[in-house]
Amino acid sequence: MKRFIKTSLIIFIILLSIIMIDIVQAKVFSNSPILSKRYTLQDKDSYVDKGFLTDTYYCVKEKDIVTVKWYFKLNKFTCPIE
């Protein structure tokens, strides 16, 4: 039983570390986390990548300008429509 708890704890720590490394590398390089799912927004050019702890919004106003916004899951954000 003790070995099962120890193995479970090690696996949990490894998974948590992978998620945190993914989020940190995405924040440092200003891109989306690898472990995320993409949803398109109402204007079809903008999209959001929903990760475990953060959502990354890509708001496209023109074809050359992309605004990237990071928000934690607790915050609500929508791209400004002009």
> Could you say which DSSP state residue 63 is in?
S
Instruction: Identify the burial level of 48 via C-beta atoms within 10 angstroms of its C-beta, where 0-12 means exposed, 13-18 middle and 19 or more buried.
Output: buried
The predicted-structure confidence for 13-58, as pLDDT tens digits, reads as follows 999 999 888 888 887 887 778 888 888 877 677 778 888 777 787 7
pLDDT(64) > 70: no
Amino acid 48: pLDDT = 80
Amino acid 19: pLDDT = 87
Close Cβ partners of 19 (under 8 Å, ≥ 6 residues apart): 35, 52, 53
- The pTM of this model reads 0.63
Amino acid 15: pLDDT = 93
